[in-house]
Amino acid sequence: MKNTLFTGAATAIVTPMTREGVDYAQFARLIEWQIAEGIDAIVAVGTTGEGPTLTDEEHCEAIRFCVQQVAGRVPVIAGTGSNDVAYAIHLTQCACEAGADGVLLVTPYYNKATQNGLVQSFAAVADASTKPCILYNVPSRTGCNLQPKTVAELAQHPRITAIKEASGDISQVAKIAALCGDKLDIYSGNDDQIVPIMSLGGKGVISVLSNLMPRETSRMCHLYEQGDVKTAMEMQLKLLPLIDALFCEVNPIPVKAAMAAMGFGENYVRLPLTPMEPAHEAELLRLMKENGVI
């Protein structure tokens, strides 16, 4: 059995920005609030953190800053995946040197890969890492699905310890759980499937929702873990409309609008992303008010 990086909710944290660059003052405020609210871990500069449009220097500096600000209070996991394996190795080494507790590796996008190519690519990055690696399967964004048998093969690698499963396919998650057992931790990559994936042995979630509701998202996971399945299920169902609103446009457009409404930086995203459509934003803010977020 491999060591578990975290149990509960990890926030796939936004990267506050202005037109001039990363807003580190707001980033620090957000990190401090997340920890004060009881979040279990932080995932920096992933998809939600706009890693794809950060410069190389910004990407590595944002990881270093997050690690230093957190100062060991919760695990920090750095998004370091790429469709260029050499670049993924570079970012992974930056994260390891910065003191991140683990790295999150997305499947190659655009150029994609065969299943054999995925095995070789992830193994190459894991070989270069000194920290635990979490696979990230999100075929709706990458056009590339990490199949259960491939996951099971990768789980044999000593530094590949978990998977963030965002395929939306519960049957696929069940197959991964059946094939991997305690060789691989499973985290939900979809906020609307936290409880279903935990019912298959998942350890929790890498969450967008927890940017604005860290305490509640963590509580949902820990209630399930403690055996209060009914309350966890009720929380999951109650939050579905808000979760849907957070994904009515491509992530992280809605969550950036949500965090700006909460006072954590500007409602600014880098192209090709654009600010949220007014009608969608109005509905998101209405649901945030309904749930006591603002």
Residue range 94-113, pLDDT digits in tens: 999 999 999 999 999 999 99
What pLDDT was estimated at residue 2?
81
Contact 39, 11 (CB under 8 A): yes
Average pLDDT of span 265-293: 97
From residue 200, alpha-carbon distances to 43, 191, 224 in Å are: 23, 15, 12
Q: Give the CATH architecture of domain 8-228.
A: Alpha-Beta Barrel (3.20)
Contact 138, 47 (CB under 8 A): yes
With pLDDT > 90 as the criterion, what percentage of the chain qualifies? 99
Average pLDDT of span 268-289: 97
Residue 69 has pLDDT above 90, yes or no: yes
Residue range 188-238, pLDDT digits in tens: 999 999 999 999 999 999 999 999 999 999 999 999 999 999 999 999 999
Q: What is the mean pLDDT of the chain?
A: 97
Average pLDDT of span 161-169: 98
What pLDDT was estimated at residue 187?
98
Give the separation between CA 105 and CA 264, rounded to whole angstroms: 27
Residue range 115-160, pLDDT digits in tens: 999 999 999 999 999 999 999 999 999 999 999 999 999 999 999 9
Catalytic residue among 136, 203, 224, 256, which? 136
Catalytic residue among 164, 203, 224, 256, which? 164
136 among known catalytic residues: yes
| Domain map (residue ranges) of the chain | 8-228
Q: How open is the CA angle 212-94-161, to the nearest 5 degrees? A: 70
Residue 1 has pLDDT above 80, yes or no: no
Q: Kindly write down the DSSP assignment for every residue of 103-151, as one continuous string.
A: EEEEPP-SS---HHHHHHHHHHHHHH-SS-EEEEE-HHHHS----HHHH
pLDDT range class, residue 59, cuts 50, 70, 90: very high
What pLDDT was estimated at residue 35?
98
